[in-house]
Amino acid sequence: MAIPIKRKIVINRLKKGTIDSCMVTDVKEWGAFVSIMGISCILRNCDFSEDITSVKDVYKKGDIIKGIKFRKISSKDRISLELREKYFNKHSLNKRNLKSGNIVLGMIRNIKEEQNRCFVGVSKGFDLLANIPVEQNISEGQKVVCKITKVELDGYGVRGKIIKII
């Protein structure tokens, strides 16, 4: 009976910004399960980093993540978190590396199933627009290998093709 009450307290404190950290309880391909006062929450890769860095690339089970904030209650009624300042790897891609024909590693940030397209984060501030591969199941937070087909930084942005799902 105490769990629902504790959950409401955690949600209220997250919304007010009085909770700043959580503990990693399990890492997955899509992100991590984390705990706040014994209440399970999720931190997806796309809510963790500006680039393609996964939670598991930086943290392991038992580690404390600081600088978290409330994102939303997911469709599965899970508390979803994000970082106040998303993690950024200083060695990731930049404008100079965004050239047609380049093969890049990215992370699926947003899926537009009705348009059969998705946005793949390839670098800070740059999402690649790609068609969803035929007969492939993809989800937000997955890492993919893409081939850049078009770069128009003043126009449509970066376009490409997903060539492999990791």
- 113 and 77 in a common domain: no
pLDDT: is 34 or 93 the higher one? 34
**How many Cα atoms occupy the beta-carbon half-sphere of 83 within 13 Å?**
18
Neighbouring-strand partners of residue 148: 160
Compute CA distances 28 → 63, 103, 104, 138, whole Å: 14, 25, 22, 15
- Residue pair 52/121 in contact (Cβ under 8 Å)? The answer is yes
Q: What pLDDT is recorded for position 61?
A: 97
The whole-number pLDDT of residue 93 equals: 67
Identify whether 88 is part of a domain.
no
What pLDDT, on the 0 to 100 scale, is given for residue 92? 67
Residue pLDDT, tens place only, 27-84? 998 899 999 999 999 999 889 987 778 899 899 999 999 999 999 998 889 999 999 9
Q: Kindly state whether residues 108 and 149 are assigned to the same domain.
A: yes
Is pLDDT at 16 greater than 80 in this prediction? Answer: yes
Pick from 123, 124, 107, 119: nearest CA to 156: 119
* Within a domain: 106: yes
Expressed as residue numbers, the domain containing 107 is: 95-165
Q: pLDDT (tens digit, 9 = 90+) per residue, 111-158? A: 998 889 999 988 777 789 999 988 888 888 888 999 999 988 776 688
C-beta pairs of 14-20 under 8 Å, 24+ apart in sequence: 14/68, 14/69, 14/70, 14/79, 14/81, 15/70, 17/69, 19/68, 20/66, 20/67, 20/68
Mean pLDDT across 4-10: 94
72 and 122, same domain (yes or no) = no
pTM, two decimal places: 0.66
